[in-house]
């Protein structure tokens, strides 16, 4: 097997090559390969219909590739100079006809040799694009815009990076917001493929990865799944997908099997299939775990949490642990999901209905408006104003006191109306006594 060799071009030489090929076919080939990471076949078949100037991207059959301002402006100028009789972006300089793959390679070879880049191939320009993207973005984004799966990125490109490894972990601070429209589109596109069925059963039935790979047809009984430890109701969409799969492949053995070998998937392979499908759909920040949590919230956990909040006024993570009999981590994730979807608002360690409290980012302004109107407030007044507990007001009031926006008079809080004296205008003398109007009264 031939080694996967990456010969990175010299950046200065590439810039010079682009300057020397400002509007010809060679310039188009070099730019699309080096600045957008397109393959030779993609360069050959790229049409103006696939160039989205509004969103700044190239819309390819399997992915969207964002283009920078420089490439976008260059393509715009190229199109403006055409007579619009040809849809192909890259045309021969001589007869204005689409180029053959061999002609594209020859143009790139000639332009690169002229700059002393004799060991650099057309495919190396795409490789260099991928490496530059990996240096700036996470692997999910790079996989989505280049079409290279995570395993390929690690095998072929990791050694050229400083860390020598491409992390496939999703790092994020906030709970993910599920784009349900994009997810439904993906489910329709995948149909009864293994990734499609896995997504249906994770998002709509809450199955874990181990349950997916061990699921057999004798556990599928009408509108529910009879698993060893529990029964799971099926949504209409998930039930329909399983029925279509059964009509095509029969109802014997494992539900999820490889198309060719008919063998059941292992955990790693099925996980990769699903991740690849999510990335292709632009849902690269989404995991199977996110879908399970969302299912749990929709199938009872969410209703129970919201019912208690309506009854008690607020809820904490410990309350959710006791209510749903889940771990603190699971309780935290479910609460964060509700916050991200706008169903709850977090204030400190408590979670409230959004309509019952002033959101944290508006609390200080609300207090200042109240003091401006009423003149003073006790802590109980602030608690009623914001819709939160009296003890929760203390950190906010302490911050406002430290910034000097309010003052404390025993148990009362008032506005700090003291203002620094204005700076004297240039050339005017400062009156004796500091220039205060009251000092002369």
DSSP notation for 399-430: HHHHHTSEEEETTEEEE----PPPPPPTTPPP
What parts of the chain have a pLDDT lower than 50?
Answer: 1-2, 173, 419-441
pLDDT at 298: 66
Q: Which domains are assigned to the chain?
A: 11-160 (1.10.443.10), 180-285 (1.10.443.10), 290-354 (1.10.10.10), 360-415 (1.10.10)
Question: What sign has the CA pseudo-torsion 255, 259, 262, 265?
Answer: negative
Give phi and psi for 87, each to the nearest 5: -85, -25
Question: What sign has the CA pseudo-torsion 386, 388, 394, 399?
Answer: negative
Structure confidence by residue, pLDDT tens digits, 288-346: 888 887 777 666 577 788 888 888 888 999 988 888 777 787 788 778 878 877 889 88
**Does residue 160 come out as left (phi exceeding 0), alpha (psi in the -120 to 50 range) or beta?**
alpha
pLDDT at 299: 64
Could you tell me if 361 and 368 are in contact, meaning their C-beta atoms sit under 8 angstroms apart? no
Nearest CA-CA partner of 238 in 280, 273, 207 = 207
62/65 Cα distance (integer angstroms): 10
User: 290: helix, coil or strand?
Assistant: helix
pLDDT at 35: 96
Question: Which neighbouring-strand residues pair with 233?
Answer: 224
34/41 Cα distance (integer angstroms): 14
Torsion of CA 225, 227, 231, 236, to 10 degrees: -20
Q: Which helix (H) or strand (E) holds 351?
A: strand 350-352
pLDDT at 194: 92
User: 342: helix, coil or strand?
Assistant: coil
pLDDT at 431: 39
Question: What sign has the CA pseudo-torsion 142, 143, 146, 151?
Answer: positive
Q: What is the DSSP string of 373-394?
A: HHS-B-HHHHHHHHTS-HHHHH
Two tokens, residue 53: 């100037």
Nearest CA-CA partner of 388 in 362, 412, 416 = 362
pLDDT at 429: 42
pLDDT at 123: 94
Cα–chain-centroid distance for residue 196?
20
């Amino acid at each position: 097997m031939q080694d996967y060799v990456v010969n990175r071009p010299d950046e200065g030489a590439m810039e010079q090559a682009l300057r020397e090929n400002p509007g010809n076919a060679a310039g188009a080939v070099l730019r699309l390969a080096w600045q957008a990471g397109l393959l030779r076949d993609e360069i050959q078949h790229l049409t103006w219909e696939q160039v989205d100037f509004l969103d700044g991207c190239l819309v390819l059959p399997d992915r969207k590739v964002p283009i920078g301002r420089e490439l976008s402006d260059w393509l715009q100028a190229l199109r403006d100079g055409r007579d619009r009789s040809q849809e192909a972006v890259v045309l021969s300089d001589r007869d204005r006809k689409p180029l053959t793959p061999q002609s594209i390679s020859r143009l790139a070879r000639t332009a690169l040799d002229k700059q002393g880049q004799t060991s650099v191939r057309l495919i190396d320009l795409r490789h260099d694009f991928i490496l530059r993207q990996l240096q700036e973005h996470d692997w999910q984004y790079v996989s989505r815009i280049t079409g290279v799966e995570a395993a390929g990125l690690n095998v072929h490109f990791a050694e050229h990076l400083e860390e020598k490894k491409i992390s496939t972990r999703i790092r994020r601070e906030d709970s993910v917001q599920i784009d349900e429209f994009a997810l439904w589109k993906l489910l329709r596109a995948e149909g009864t493929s293994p990734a499609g069925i896995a997504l249906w059963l994770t998002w709509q039935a809450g199955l874990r990865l181990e349950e997916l790979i061990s699921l057999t047809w004798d556990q599928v009984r009408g509108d529910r799944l009879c698993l060893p430890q529990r029964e799971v109701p099926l949504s209409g969409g998930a039930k329909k997908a399983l029925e279509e799969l059964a009509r095509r492949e029969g109802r014997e053995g494992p539900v999820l099997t490889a198309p060719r070998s008919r063998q059941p998937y292992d955990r790693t392979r099925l996980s990769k299939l699903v991740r690849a499908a999510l990335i292709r759909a632009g849902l690269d920040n989404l995991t199977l775990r996110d879908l399970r949590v969302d299912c749990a919230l929709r199938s009872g956990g969410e209703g129970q949490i919201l019912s208690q909040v309506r009854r008690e006024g607020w809820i904490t993570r410990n309350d959710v642990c006791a209510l749903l009999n889940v771990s603190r981590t699971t309780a935290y994730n479910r609460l964060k999901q509700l916050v991200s979807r706008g169903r709850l608002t977090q204030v400190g360690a408590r979670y409230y209905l959004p309509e019952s409290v002033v959101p944290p980012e508006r609390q200080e302004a609300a207090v200042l408006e109240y003091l401006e109107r009423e003149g003073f407030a006790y802590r109980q007044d602030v608690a009623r104003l914001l819709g939160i507990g009296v003890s929760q007001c203390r950190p906010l009031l302490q911050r406002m006191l430290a910034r000097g926006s309010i003052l404390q008079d025993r148990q009362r809080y008032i506005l700090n109306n003291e203002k620094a004296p204005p700076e004297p205008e240039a050339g005017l003398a400062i009156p004796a006594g500091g220039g205060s109007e009251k000092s002369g009264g």
